[in-house]
A = this chain, B = another copy of it.
Amino acid sequence: MDDLEGGMGSPSGRKFTASNLTTMNPIARAVVSMNKNVLAGVVLTFFLGLLFVGSKSNPTVVGVLLVSGGMLAFAGWVAQWVMARDEGTPDMSDVSDAIRDGAEGYFSTQYGTIGRLSLVLAVAIYLIYSFRQVTQEQMDAGLTQGTIALLTTVSFLFGAFCSAVAGYVGMWVSVRANMRVAGAARRSAREALVVALRAGGFSGLVVVGMTVIGVCSLFAIFHVSYGSSHENFTMSDIPLLLVGYGFGASFVALFAQLGGGIYTKAADVGADLVGKVEQNIPEDDPRNPAVVADLVGDNVGDCAARGADLFESIAAEIISAMILGGSMAKKSGLKDATGFIMFPLVIHTMDLVVSAAGLMSVSPSKVGTRQEDPYDVMKRGYTFSVVLAILGFTASCKLLLDSEEAPGAWLNFAGCGVVGIGCAYAFVFISQYYTDYKYKPVRVVAEASTTGHGTNIIAGVALGMESTALPVIVISMGITAAYHLGNTSGLKDAEGNPTAGLFGTAVATMGMLSTAAYVLTMDVFGPIADNAGGIVEMSQQPESVRDITDSLDAVGNTTKATTKGFAIGSAALAAFLLFSAYMDEVSAFTQKPFTEVDISIPEVWIGGLLGSMLVYLFSAWACAAVGKSAQEVVLEVRRQFLERPGIMNYTEKPDYARCVSIVAESALREMIKPGLLAVSAPVVVGVTFRMYGKATGEEMLGAKVVAGLLMFATVSGILLALFLNTAGGAWDNAKKYIEQGAYGGKNSEAHKASVTGDTVGDPFKDTAGPSLHVLIKMLATITLVMAPLFLD
């Protein structure tokens, strides 16, 4: 066995895999190799320092830090609980080890590239901010160009670093939990479910906890450093300094999602096209040379990338809501803005607590004897979290948003929160309706498979495009309702105009994200279950074990689809906060009102057209990247089957490592083009129209055109992402429905057609679609950070 390259279980093989890929950066290596107790000591000291700084800022900061610190400790306990499960059979560990090596190797290479890109960008940001004017308010607050350049750059790098850690944690737990879930599946379905769920829970708690602590500590440090020395510096000045953090997070998330998404789907598509379609072997069959690459992909694509994605969602949302809360409190003439600024941090601290409660409500020992649908079990935990979140949300509104100036306002804001939570619930249901084969839409796609590959694709495309309607209607009603509730809250400016409309939508967004940690838990559950299934299949476990992991995997598909709906919904709601933060910022820089984006100005409309086009071009390149990489995998897998005829009858071992390294190289190469497009397009458009505006005498043209670009790109991005995600999920489940016996079952012509749909859906739902969520938010944060470039 040892003479086969990269055979699983062969230490030399593993080493080969790793050495091929791992160029682990020195910091990561130092952290990983540190003694556990030393590490704990360093973290604790650091945390105590933070608490000290926080205590000089305000008591809410201390409370937030203490509770989220506690919840991180709890997450550590959850991780230990998961790690204490048995590792399954030696066969299972072998497979899992191969997966872990591949995933960690790819992870460090990928983040090495991303790290270098981030450093280049950090220099650019520093230079941009060093050469631009500071705003009047900043001058008043005593901040100089140099200070702001430094703060923004440091925030950016810190955001990028935290995002990388969030991604790493997601992957770290999943590559360790997969074999433990497989091991547990040998005993009971319930145990396997709980192991996978808690592993996901660890990831969810850490990601949300880190966002909260990251933003909170930056806030406290800035507050304490500048608040004491500059008398005009108020708390409302801080959030705008944090945008760099949000941009750092989204910059890293974009490349992580692209690289991971391309990796996972190139491997998956490549494995399926030859394995399932040409050779007629089942999914995750150990004879398929690309199977390990496929399983590695689940970890680097779904776990790591989704962790980074949600990290930046929450970071961007917290920061923009803080900006909005601060400026709204100022406009409304409130004496104390603290509650409004701290509100997002408190909500996500509560999020940690209620999600942990939901997680623990699913106990490992099943009560009663009935075999329950795992989805129902998980959903019960979710409902439990949601009920707690409503209570906690209302209490937080009363505590933080109740002001003397508008006594009943907190009730309106609590209403906004309920609107947001309601939208989240509706999104989950709509996604399920369009992607679960219990309902009509997926069955229509399955039926269309009976008339061929072509009709299957047409039906899926039609379903995907149709599925945009209900979410858009829900978002529309949600924004309208929240805006109205905010406007009628009683908060008014000096002239008596209502001021809290936008803050109402901000509160709704927070409501929607108020159980984010649990949602992320369900999401990470998916790839862990998928991996466990792969390990069970590859280590050739008995049918009963496979049944258990299969059922978990199917549920994972549904939760993955629903959390994507959730991610888009929150992106859509958050979009509005980010727009207005951008407009506030431009106003601050130019000292001129910038309160409208008039698309009847041709250039602004053109900005919109270009923004929408950007979304298409970006998706095109993401899909093409998967297609190209998958073709390389197909050729390699075909070559192996041809040159090693013994693979099919188990007398020869396939060369897994070669597929792993082909996919890794290809994904790293292909993520650059769409990533750079996304980062450079808004800058190029803004600068071009700034110069054009200067030449033609149109004031602030660059900033206006970028606003148009941002808003249209958001709308197009939401729609295209909804289309891509839902179509992909529906094709996947239409295939599963047929595999369960409908229309001739496995190996029928209908099944072949449905596999084509599934293949097409892969890059849609796991590469282009999720990358678009990140793109939408990245565009918003990059325009915030780069705004000075668009202004004369």
Contact = CB atoms under 8 A, between A and B. Distances in A.
Interface string A369-404: 000000000000000000000000000000000000
A451 interface: yes
A457 B598 contact: no
Nearest to A484: B696
Nearest to A455: B627
Contacts of A602: 479-480, 483, 501-502, 505, 576
B451 A634 contact: yes
Given A463-B620, A599-B597, A620-B465, A634 B759 contact: no
Contacts of A472: 609-610, 612-613
Name, among A458, A461, A464, the residue most crowded by chain B CB atoms within 10 Å (CB to CB).
Answer: A458
Nearest to A753: B453
B630 A605 contact: no
Nearest to A579: B600
A600 B609 contact: no
A608 interface: yes
A621 interface: yes
A598 B594 CA distance: 11
Interface string A264-295: 00000100110001100000000000000000
Q: Which of A273, A505, A712 has the most CB of B within 10 A?
A: A712
A696 B619 CA distance: 40
B624 A459 contact: yes
Interface in A557-605: 572, 576, 579-580, 583, 595-603, 605
Nearest to A756: B453
Interface string A487-507: 100000000000001100100
Contact of A616 (B580, B707, B723): B723
A260 to B, nearest CB: 18
B715 A454 contact: no
Contacts of A273: 451-452, 454-455
A718 interface: yes
A224 interface: no
Contacts of A119: none
Looking at chain A's contact residues, the main secondary structure is: helix
A278 B462 CA distance: 24
Given A484-B696, A623-B458, A608 B756 contact: no
Contacts of A452: 273, 277-278, 634, 756, 759
A606 interface: yes
A468 interface: yes
A635 B468 CA distance: 30
A479 B606 contact: yes
A453 B451 contact: no
The 9 closest A-B pairs by CB, nearest first: A454-B759, A465-B620, A462-B624, A466-B620, A596-B598, A472-B613, A462-B623, A458-B627, A453-B756
Given A452-B634, A473-B610, 17 more contacts: A269-B454, A273-B452, A273-B454, A454-B759, A457-B760, A458-B624, A458-B763, A469-B617, A472-B613, A479-B606, A483-B602, A505-B602, A596-B598, A599-B708, A613-B719, A616-B719, A715-B716
16 contacts: A273-B452, A277-B452, A447-B631, A457-B756, A462-B621, A463-B624, A468-B617, A473-B613, A476-B609, A479-B602, A483-B603, A505-B602, A605-B715, A608-B715, A612-B719, A712-B712
Interface of A: 269, 272-273, 277-278, 447-448, 451-455, 457-459, 461-466, 468-469, 472-473, 475-476, 479-480, 483-484, 487, 501-502, 505, 572, 576, 579-580, 583, 595-603, 605-606, 608-610, 612-613, 616-617, 619-621, 623-624, 626-627, 630-631, 634-635, 692, 696, 707-708, 711-712, 715-716, 718-719, 723, 755-756, 758-760, 763
